[in-house]
Amino acid sequence: MIDVLVVDDDFMVARIHRGFVERVPGFRVVGTASTGEEAVSEIDRLRPGLILLDLYLPDMFGLDVVTRIRAARHDCDVLVISAAREAEAVRRAVRYGAVNYLLKPFGFDELRVRLEQYAARRSALRAAVVADQADVDRVLSRGGAVAAVPTLPRGLSAETADLVERALRGHDGTLSASECADRVGISRVSARRYLEHFSGSGRAEVTLRYGAAGRPERRYAWLS
């Protein structure tokens, strides 16, 4: 069981994210924090294995929390959840050792895929005996964590996953969930789940297309 601390200055958002985490087998939320100082204190008290960390906190930038806990030698991982879209924020998060970076707002499936990917990598690092460089490369490669999992996430079938993959591979450009659903012959919601799975495992890339109004459209392309 992986203990999780949710850090977000918005109480309702933290409550939603807590509910998301607790729906994923193998994870449990042990606490929440709404400020950087509170997060540092709760990490010291609870010793979670994973922190869901917002960057825009009222008293400090989220990555400053990471600096504090690393200085205190806390052995925990950080998954950034933020509305910050600046490339520099993403680069800094990577330099600070974030295991993933998830843009707000996001749905349950988007977080679930990344938590499952994290759990797979964590399990591989703990269980694997590193015999040679190939073992190291498999664990640290972009897709290695998910490759260590023998089955797809619950509710997804290998047959449909293969069809969605073929649709992406065979299209020159990007596809929306609706366009992919039409090509494969499944519902848009189902197509979105497979596409997000491929995105979370590093096999597909997501871009956003902004229209005149409403939320941007998520578009997917297979990474060769």
Q: What's the whole-number average pLDDT of the chain?
A: 84
57-111 pLDDT, tens digit per residue, is 999 999 899 999 988 888 899 999 988 777 778 888 888 889 999 988 888 988 9
Measured CA to CA, the distance from residue 97 to residue 64 in angstroms comes to 13
Token pair, residue 106, equals 């996001």
117-154 pLDDT, tens digit per residue, is 888 877 766 655 555 666 566 555 544 333 333 346 77
Q: What are phi and psi of 101, to 5 degrees?
A: -140, 115
The alpha-helical segments, DSSP class H, found in 4-150 are 11-22, 36-46, 62-71, 87-95, 108-127, 133-140, 144-147
Pinpoint the residues of the chain covered by CATH 1.10.10.10. 154-224
Report the CATH number of the 2-106 domain: 3.40.50.2300
Measured CA to CA, the distance from residue 3 to residue 213 in angstroms comes to 39
Pinpoint the residues of the chain covered by CATH 3.40.50.2300. 2-106
Q: Which CATH class is domain 154-224?
A: mainly alpha
Token pair, residue 74, equals 């806390």
